[in-house]
Amino acid sequence: MKGTSFLPISAKEVEERGWAEVDFVYVCGDAYVDHPSFGAAIITRVLEEQGFNVAFLAQPDFHNSEDFKRFGKPRLGFLVSAGNIDSMVAHYTVAKRKRNYDYYSPGGKMGLRPDRATEVYCRLIREAYPDTAIIIGGLEASLRRFAHYDYWKDEVLESVLVTSGADILTYGMGENIIRKIASLLDKGVPVSKIRDVRGTVWLGNRDDKIHFDYSGEWDFNKLKTDKEYYARAFSVQYKNQDSAYGKALVEYYGDKMLVQNPPMPPLEREELDAVYDLPFMRDYHPSYEKQGGVPAITEVQFSLTHNRGCFGGCNFCALAFHQGRSVRSRSIESVVNEARLLTERKDFKGYINDVGGPTANFRYPACEQQLKNGVCANKKCLAPEPCKNLKADHSEYIELLSQIERLPKIKKVFIRSGIRYDYLNADKSPSGNAFFKKLVKDHVSGQLKVAPEHCSGNVLRLMGKPDFKIYEKFKDRYFELTKSFGMEQYLVPYLMSSHPGSTLSDAVKLAEFIKRWNYNPEQVQDFYPTPGTASTVMFYTGLDPFTMKEVYVPKTPEEKRMQRALLQCADPKNADLVRIALKKCHREDLIGFDKKCLIKPSYKDRVEQAKKQNTSRNNKNQNRRGGSRNSPKGKRK
């Protein structure tokens, strides 16, 4: 179903629709983009489909509360999200420097949302309407729902539900959660009484009733001071994020009690299809046209999302804490219908940029038992080795891609989301080989991006990634197929520096592999400690939360710069840092002119080396002369 209009963004547009009032005002830190790749668009369209009047307040002026009065007081409440990503990540690099471009703002302009946007918006709403209901959600709220380590302040902060003063926090994928909350509010249930909805977090008194069995309870005062206590708490929280068996979790803040109810079950195929059939405009609001549009639409405008969730379980990724590890996918018919809609756009040029999701080649849960029993709490599906119960099958994904390709006006269908190469390697059925061939032949736009991240066994284990030999097996097969098709295509590996566990020697080892591949990475991702990941817990505590073993953590700016420089040692501006790092690791054998060397000696090093060689030569000559005079054979008769 194709959209016919955007939601109202002004009081005048509300009046033109004939609404006496709005039921909900959705406040968002991003510009208004009505596309299913944006969580705000999905939630507002879901509410609209339920019959609620929803107004959209995008990037309001946060210097006072006036802009939050634009639509008057909503009948049921405000919905607040910082946007598609955490506002601090949107504003700051991993080096904590201010970014100069915002992909989710008109024209890429910075400064249109505040730091810690969820908290700021809620405080201003409370100032404007003290007794209104406020429900917070989106990625920022979801990943900060517990006491959490904050990289930018370098301390453990309270749950964002506590600091924002909101009434309810929704976490994870929110369609059924918001439907339930909206229905209860519409029936007249006070927001303070909504305590039994799955996928929500609420704050009450210590003696309030908890409606579900709970697994653990922790005190904030100890969480912020005791790193071992914090790491153990995260482990229990992580293992209770599956809707099949997850229990409630409790944190205490003085005389207050914060309760996370168990997760809401993921949407099944028919429910996902219904969401993606809602009347999205699939574009940014036309009011942004004069400012150059919203850059974030570029990557997704002609892309298709066919799945949700990821059972890959990488420790540095927040997906497990947000979307969950249980995979669900849309029907082939639903995705093909959306592709057909894209071909009808005037600006469609024949190319589908991506058919993917969190992981492109997942269509179903990892094994049959996950549908009934959920994802295993104490093991991963793919690392360090694929589970014996893993069901790897690409046949349906092949059919999906083939049906899209057959549509009129389609010239090419690309896959740009992450391909799990370990899952592809694990597919021993005919579909595995068939998909690999089809991927290389039909769906790569010159280069395929995959994510081995590192080569060190210890670092990969702490990342939750498979052994490096699995990537090398994939790489060899990829180039074998590329050659067989007579194509010149490349493989671009995503690499990460300074992840917990990565020593300077590990970075040198990875640099040697990069040299051997004849690869010069233009970009390397420094590990970014964001809320909601196991790797961030390691960074803060120095402990692996799942084993409680100590973990080496590269934290000093100097070492982090050296690790990054090693992975980009071909860049001349990194030369001095690379030499310093190699000397620090006693790997001077990699400084020189040999093929195996990572860097040439500096001018200063060459001068010193020449001096040493001259001194050594002079000493040898002197010894020879001295020997001819003093040796018995040299004596005159």
- Which of 1.25.40.10, 3.30.930.10, 3.40.50.280, 3.40.50.800 would CATH assign to domain 11-194? 3.40.50.280
Taking only the tens place, the pLDDT of each residue in 76-113 is 999 999 999 999 999 999 999 999 999 999 999 999 99
Q: Which H or E run includes 333?
A: helix 332-343
Taking only the tens place, the pLDDT of each residue in 531-585 is 999 999 999 999 999 999 999 999 999 999 999 999 999 999 999 999 999 999 9
Of 142, 135, 127, 125, the residue nearest 185 (C-alpha): 135
What pLDDT is attached to residue 623? 67
How is the chain split into domains, by residue range?
Answer: 11-194, 450-602, 603-628
pLDDT for 630 beyond 70:
no
Contact 327, 364 (CB under 8 A): yes
What pLDDT is attached to residue 452? 95
Work out the average pLDDT over 281-301.
96
Residue 328: which pLDDT band, with cuts at 50, 70 and 90? very high
CA 230 to chain centre: 22
CATH annotation of 450-602 = 3.30.750.200
Task: Give the three-state DSSP class for 244.
Answer: coil
In angstroms, the CA 374 to CA 519 distance is 40
Q: Which amino acid is at 286?
A: P
CA 177 to chain centre: 22
Report the mean per-residue pLDDT for the chain.
Answer: 94
The DSSP secondary structure of 582-630, one letter per residue, reads HHHTT-GGGBSSSTT-SBPPPHHHHHHHHHHHHHHHHHHHHHHHHHHHH
Residue 604: which pLDDT band, with cuts at 50, 70 and 90? confident
Taking only the tens place, the pLDDT of each residue in 144-170 is 999 999 999 999 999 999 999 999 999
Q: Which H or E run includes 447?
A: strand 447-453
CA 221 to chain centre: 29
What pLDDT is attached to residue 634? 41
Residue 417: which pLDDT band, with cuts at 50, 70 and 90? confident
pLDDT for 454 beyond 80:
yes
Work out the average pLDDT over 329-345.
97
Work out the average pLDDT over 212-227.
97
Q: Which amino acid is at 414?
A: F
In angstroms, the CA 631 to CA 626 distance is 8
* Lookup: tokens for 561: 């710069």
Mean pLDDT lowest among 256-260, 355-359, 611-615: 611-615
The reported pTM is 0.93
